[in-house]
Amino acid sequence: MLSSDVVSRISLMSLANAALLLGTASSVIICALAWSGKLRPCLMLDIGLLFEVIGAFSIATLENSTPMPADGWLRGVSGVALWITFFIFVVPSTLGKTALAAISSALMGPLALLIYSSVYRVALPAGGSLFSMFLPDVLAAVWAIILSRFVYGLGRDLGQARRMGYYELIEKLGRGGMGEVWRAKHRLLARPAAIKLISPESAGIGSEGLTATMVRRFELEAQMTATLQSQHTIQLYDFGVTDDGAFYYVMEYLNGLDLETLVNKYGPLPAERVVHLLSQVCESLDEAHKLGMVHRDIKPANIIAGLHGINYDFVKVLDFGLAKFKQETNVTVSGLAGGTPAFMAPEAALGEGAVDGRADLYALGAVGYWLLTGKLVFEAETAYATVLDHIRKTPVPPSRRTELEIPASLERIILRCLEKDPAKRPESARELAWLLKDVEVSEPWTQERAERWWQAHRPEVTRPAPIQIEEPAVVEVA
């Protein structure tokens, strides 16, 4: 019969072989899944983190499968610590997932030691020795969590630049509720562009990422946006989904200021300039409404005025990519933004019945109110209270909230747009444009006045950087 010592050694050999088999099998499975390309990249990354824990257990088991010397517990450099540190460069992930995987991997050492102690029937080391044995694993987990922030951020930025077709991200221009906006350049053309990234989290989509239905909805909206031809609607060049599940729009790069920043920085605008800006927005909305699109988020931050060609105070309307269609469609996504409380029409807030283009006209009336006064129509303490005010309260005429002169006809137009009943508002954006055209102002807002204003206040807009075009290389042919 075999002695107990021989049986223990056989058990340890079996344990080591089992750990080696587990590590090898999991490696083969991970490689097969990666090469198949059938899983979403985000799911593949999660499986990679699970592999990190399995690999750490296999390494720890192999390390603890050698009987310890009788005079003490000795350890060199822990393979688990090296594995944890190395893994963040192979599978970069979010902070929470990285922390979970790193801490779980560090715990595989003590788990393997417990298994070794049970199989080999030896006592565990003293507390101090046990602490010193696994301290490197814990430190490696901490370093991995810290380093992952840099590696993940850098990898994501570089990855986005590589995966957006011919466009390369240059600098972040801003961040909002639905994602980030970057200045970008085309790698072959001189045309500048802006890229808006919409992550699943910012769009209210769960950890499962973008489903086929969601991607189809984004594609439909992008295709509809691309059909808009108004010169006052931002032009869409391209769209797609990155490998990490973020949706992106490639748009024309605008040289100017959004109306929210314009008023915040320089104060309320004269009536003639407000008429000039609102009339251009009406042109954009008129085309969209005729195609069955309702913007749903008209607000000063989504309207940019600036230099376009040789025209100053030229308006562009943004974010039609998240518009709602009046026609019914079976491609819908829950969780998308439904508007901004300070500019939301009552019927949109209540969600009762069909919301049509007159909801955009209500929001445009609130924009005009902001431009004339520098104040919101209703300034409640919370977003919910603001929405209730739009539903219940009658707005104070803008002339009572500013020292600037507001023509009576313009004030009537603004208040008509802010009617609670959509039937009492202008019937269409075109009708609103006609009404604005008839407003009598003391002095018209001309291109000369607009140019003088931009040269005095924003000279960097009036003198855009020259376009650098590289000369093609000359190749001599013998």
Take residue 178 and report the two structure tokens written for it.
């639905």
415/278 Cα distance (integer angstroms): 14
**Quick one: how far is CA 6 from the chain centroid?**
61
Structure tokens at 451: 């140019």
**One of 297, 313, 319, 389 is an active-site residue; which one?**
297
Cβ atoms 285, 360 nearer than 8 A: yes
Q: Between the CA of residue 211 and those of 68, 94, 206, 214, 325, what are the distances in Å?
A: 52, 20, 10, 5, 20
What's the count of helices (H) and strands (E) in the chain, helices before strands? 15, 10
pLDDT digits (tens, 9 = 90+) for 202-224: 555 554 555 566 667 677 777 77
Name which of 263-272, 324-333, 388-397, 434-443 the model is least confident about. Answer: 324-333
Helix (H, G, I), strand (E, B) or coil at 12: helix
Tens digit of each residue's pLDDT (9 = 90 or more) over 136-155: 777 777 877 777 666 555 44
Average pLDDT, whole number, for the chain? 78
Domains defined along the chain, listed by start: 4-161 (no CATH), 164-253 (3.30.200.20), 256-469 (1.10.510.10)
- Average pLDDT value for residue range 426-436: 97
**Which structure tokens are listed for 432?**
């609103």
pLDDT digits (tens, 9 = 90+) for 252-267: 899 999 999 999 999 9
Give dist(CA 308, CA 314) in Å, integer: 6
Residue 188 confidence (pLDDT): 75
CA distance 197 to 40: 18
297 among known catalytic residues: yes
